[in-house]
Chain A
Amino acid sequence: MRSPFQSEQEAFRTVLLVVAALALVALAAALGPTWLALVVLAVVLGAVAARVVQLRMHRLRGLEMPVKMAPPHVGSAADRRVLIVANDTLGEDALLSEVDRLAAAPRTHVLLLAPAVISPAARLAGAVDGLLDQARTRIRTALERIGRDDVVAGEISESEPLEAIEDAFATFAPDEVVVSTRWERTDGGLEPGLAGLVRERFAVPVRHLVFEPGSEAREPDRATEARYRQEVGRAAAGRFGLKAVAGAGIAAALAMSMVALVQSNERTEARAVSQAAAERAAAQPPVTSVVALSVIPEYKDGPEGEKHDAFTKTEFTVRAGQPQELRIDNTDEVPHSITSPGAGVNIIVMPGVHTYTLMVKHAGTYLWFCTFQCDEWAMEHPGYMMGYITAS
């Protein structure tokens, strides 16, 4: 895939996009609920994944214009420089004969390039030394057998074969490339489709020679080369698929971890709130399970010396959100009430002894009064037919 840092312009744009995406996630996290931040993060990750897949599929399908390039020729017009790319076929007599034939031509320089075929697993494990030693031994042996040190040089590379060839173009500037492989890929050997990739990329003649033990060198026909190309495409698609699955797994694991972290934080916060409420409740005086009181006409003296209707208890202390039972003996012949719109309370106190539930949802101190026409003065004075409910 094309590197997003291939040019200054692309690097700047990439950094800008990453910063913008992070800012979006941060903004969502700061201003909205947690799930919104997660949704934005998921959208951003999805967009990145979709773009990667699009670029990769574009590349795999070969939709880009097939442009080949080559550096200027190096040396005089009579010089000819041949790059031979081989690895597991380096010991083949037929290959060495071909190298010898090429090197025998006047003013021809040959570079034998042996890319060490290193699997991603070996690279991850750092187990490359053995493979490099193997390539080094093959090159050394081949050069000794050819015996033309003046015109044939050897080189190994731990890069991917195509990158190694690109490096050789920068340093050796070949006029022709020969890619040597087996008919089918072997363990540690070069991909037969490599020749096709080199042909697609570099503007010099490319020959693909296939060497099998005891056989003459042969060039694959067009159909075989096309099959190799398809195999390269399938292998690349497979590798990309694996990477995509692995990437999706990592992204999913990341998202799940974040969700778990957020939920854990929420649980911790809820526990803390619950514990604080329990502590507050424990610190408060206990509330009597049932409060008994009466409503009695002309029960209580007013400041002017006259008797007024009154509740025997006009101050109620309750726990917010918890029911409080009131057993009220209304000795009058008519109903009265404990009504507090602010507290959401409206208890109709019928004549006789009845039990009622007083329930206030939110903490606070609320005024209550009787809404039934009785003693007008008492209805307007706390301590008579009016009072307070305190919820904590």
Chain B
Amino acid sequence: MPNKESAAHAQSVELKPQPWRWSHPRVLVEHPDEETGLAIAAGLRYAGYAVAICPGPVGHGRCPLTGPAGCAPAHDADLVVSSLGYEHEAAREVLRELRTRYPDTPLVVEAPADIDGGLGELLDGCHQLPAPASTEQIVVAVQSLAKQDGELGRDDA
């Protein structure tokens, strides 16, 4: 598992919207639908993960991850599940920032059936699940990546 402190980008950041209040392993779930996000969160919580759910930028203004401030939950997440749908450029920008800022953080992406070239490049190296993925599929994917990646920050806890 990458050292989260060293993975922090060098620029001075004011991390928002709120820092994690729970110890590792931490999974950030990006999902625009509240109920589905809660269902995924419940599955992950029962699998032993602390969870943060973010609805993403569409309809909620600019994502701090794409600005100089950065995003505390993304910064300190051990794994990210991204289900933002990528028809919106704002959602792609979030994905781009995640890949750029935290290249060592495992990423599970619910990918649409038709992937254009730009999105394909962004998704390269991610763990892809065909959208819509069930909670069970997501939990299994997270557990699988966690096994590959050690214990997802358990040592840091």
Contact = CB atoms under 8 A, between A and B. Distances in A.
Interface string A63-96: 1111111111100010000000000000000000
27 contacts: A6-B19, A7-B19, A9-B12, A10-B14, A63-B61, A65-B17, A65-B55, A67-B17, A67-B18, A67-B52, A67-B54, A67-B73, A68-B41, A69-B20, A69-B21, A69-B52, A71-B21, A72-B45, A72-B50, A72-B51, A169-B21, A170-B21, A175-B42, A203-B37, A203-B45, A203-B53, A204-B41
Contacts of B130: none
Interface residues of A, number: 23
Contacts of A67: 17-18, 52-54, 73
Contacts of B63: 65
Nearest to B72: A67
B38 A203 contact: yes
Given A10-B14, A175-B42, A205-B38, A68 B19 contact: no
A203 B46 contact: no
B61 A73 contact: no
A69 B22 contact: yes
A1 to B, nearest CB: 13
Interface in B4-54: 12, 14-22, 37-38, 41-42, 45-46, 48-54
B64 interface: yes
Contacts of A70: 22, 41, 45, 50-51
Contacts of B16: 64-65
Contacts of B17: 64-67
A11 to B, nearest CB: 12
Contacts of B22: 69-72
Interface of A: 6-7, 9-10, 63-73, 77, 166, 169-170, 175, 203-205
Contacts of A73: 45-46, 48
Interface of B: 12, 14-22, 37-38, 41-42, 45-46, 48-55, 57, 60-61, 63-64, 71, 73
A6 B52 CA distance: 19
A309 to B, nearest CB: 86
B55 A66 contact: yes
A113 to B, nearest CB: 17
Choose among A6, A10, A65 the residue with the greatest number of B CB atoms under 10 Å from its CB. Answer: A65
Contacts of B50: 69-72
B49 to A, nearest CB: 6
A64 B15 CA distance: 11
Contacts of B48: 72-73
Contacts of B14: 10
Contacts of B71: 65
B60 A71 contact: no
Nearest to B43: A73
A68 B17 CA distance: 10
Contacts of A169: 21
A203 to B, nearest CB: 4
A273 to B, nearest CB: 51
Contacts of B15: 7
A77 B44 CA distance: 11
Given A64-B16, A69-B73, 6 more contacts: A67-B52, A68-B52, A69-B22, A72-B49, A72-B51, A203-B52
Contacts of A166: 21
B142 to A, nearest CB: 12
B13 to A, nearest CB: 8
A69 B51 contact: yes
B45 A175 contact: yes
A21 B34 CA distance: 44
A204 B38 contact: yes
A77 B48 CA distance: 10
Nearest to A205: B38
Contacts of A66: 17, 54-55, 60
Contacts of B73: 67, 69
A71 B20 CA distance: 10
A205 B37 CA distance: 11
Contacts of A64: 16-18, 64
Contacts of B64: 64-65
Contacts of B52: 67-69, 203
A170 B22 CA distance: 8
A66 B16 CA distance: 10
A69 B48 CA distance: 14
Given A65-B54, A66-B55, A204 B42 contact: yes
Nearest to B65: A65
Contacts of A175: 42, 45
A77 B46 contact: yes
Which 9 pairs of residues, A with B, have the shortest CB-CB distance? A64-B17, A71-B22, A203-B41, A73-B45, A69-B52, A73-B46, A203-B53, A67-B54, A68-B53
